[in-house]
Structure 1
Amino acid sequence: MPKEIKNHICEEETFTGIYSKYSKSLHDFLYYKFGEYLDPNDKMQEAFIKLWENCKKVPPSSARAFLFKVAGNMMLNDIKHRKVVLRYIQTKPKEYTNESPEFIMEEAQFFDKYQKALSKLPEEQRITFLLSKADKKPHKEIAEMLGVTRRVVDSRVYNASLKLKAELEEFNKFYAKKPSKLL
């Protein structure tokens, strides 16, 4: 026991000795088991860094086992990560839609009309309406932001909705189907 306290891994001499003794065999082990593709030299270096970070916890007699276990786990984690990346790359986004070209064109035209109708609203109504419908903020929070009462916010949102409905006779139909695109 007194010998291990004397030869602590945190001492530079002891650590250097462990490095020179195990670095080549650790590199070779990683290279033979996992190949050059996963860069065994980096994992070997990282394992020694982990040993240095945990030098007070690992006795010199367990250094070899610690290094091989940590380096092997790093390689396995790298393999898992590469599998996830590969799976993500292989999934292709949906490039088609079930909507007809006419519907898509009508939706774009309606969106333009909607933007024009929004721009015709008075600034206070437009801001209040968009905070309520697009940002989905509660009326109480909008009132605090704008420095008005909640009833004023309710009134502005209501009046903006009336004006938009009057301007756009198809507003209800599209609003019910695609609120995220409209607001």
Structure 2
Amino acid sequence: MHQWDLSPFSVTPAASLLARCVSKDILSQGEIDSASSRLSPIFSNQLREAEQRIRTQRQLDQLQLEMDLLKMEKKSADVTNSFYLSRRFQMLQMFCGHLQDLLKEQNSLRQRLMKPLGRTNLPVQAHLQRFVVDVVKMLLDFIQTLEEKLTSVRCSPSAIDRLAQLNTSLAQLLAHVADVESLSNQVLQRKEAHSSKQSDSSAR
């Protein structure tokens, strides 16, 4: 017994055989239809269930495909959706307009940037003018003190020079100590010699 392939996209050997019989007038389509209507109820129920499963699977595949398309559209909404594209286009137009205004005012902007800030009048309220004068005086004093400190730091010897001076002073101090020690030894020797001479003269 041949197993029938229930896929709608394939032709079974039995179907091809029946088609040849109909084309050669061996059987008529009515006879085939009447024979198929007399099939056993068990076979017809199995066939209906198989067809129903195939239709259900098709519907599930279609729904899955539509769901995938919706997910993809949601992910790429900011690129493909006209609402987001129109907002981005408006922002881009505003930015381009701003750049055009800057290019039109390029000369005036360049002159404003090149203009020195010195000798410009700063509006100061009347009750704050004396505080501004005090602040300016403090600023001048601070600048003067800072310059003095910087000058003293620049003129002061560095740490290496100070170490060299300390080493020289230490060497000189050690030399003086050696001289004092030798002089003290000489004084002691002369004192001992003088005392020995006095003792000899008294003994005579």
Which TM class, normalised by the smaller chain length? under 0.3
TM-score, L = length of structure 1: 0.22
